[in-house]
């Protein structure tokens, strides 16, 4: 989980409920206090191992499912580099792909969306 604010906390809660075999959740935030607060609040509540990742790269390379709830900007931050993402990983961006290297979305096998496109 990238981004440990309100939305990030709820994503971690959902992951723990929706993925019964979940062994660990790796979290990362540019504000270490936010990551620490998420861990302190959710670890006892969920009973899942929650690990503060030392960097975006370490978290990306440690997880099968990746989610981001960070800032939404016109130009991508591309914090997570394309070369860190491997085949088979699932990415759930809740920040309009701001956090991800744009090249990653160009090589995705599949897209799932919550609403159909109205464009031709």
DSSP string, the chain: -B--SHHHHHHHHHHHHH-TT--EEEEB-SSHHHHHHHHHHHHHHH-SEEEE-SSHHHHHHH-SEEEE-----SS----B-GGG--TT-EEEESSTTTTB-HHHHHT-S----SS-----
Tell me the C-alpha distance between 84 and 28, whole Å: 15
Mean pLDDT of the chain: 90
Model confidence over 72-100: pLDDT tens digits? 888 888 899 999 999 999 998 888 778 88
Residue 57 pLDDT: 97
The pLDDT tens digits of the residues spanning 44-63 come to 999 899 999 999 999 999 99
Average pLDDT, integer, range 5-18 = 94
């Amino acid at each position: 989980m990238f981004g440990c604010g309100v939305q990030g906390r709820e994503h971690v809660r959902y992951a723990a409920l929706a993925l019964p075999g979940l062994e660990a959740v790796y979290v990362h935030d540019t504000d270490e206090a936010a990551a620490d607060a998420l861990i302190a609040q959710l670890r006892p509540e969920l009973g899942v191992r929650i690990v503060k990742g030392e960097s975006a790269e370490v978290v990306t390379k440690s997880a099968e499912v990746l989610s981001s709830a960070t800032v939404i900007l016109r130009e991508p931050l591309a914090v997570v580099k394309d070369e860190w993402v491997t085949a088979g990983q699932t990415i759930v961006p809740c920040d309009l792909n701001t956090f991800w290297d744009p090249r990653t979305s160009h090589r995705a096998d599949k897209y799932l969306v919550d609403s159909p496109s109205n464009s031709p």
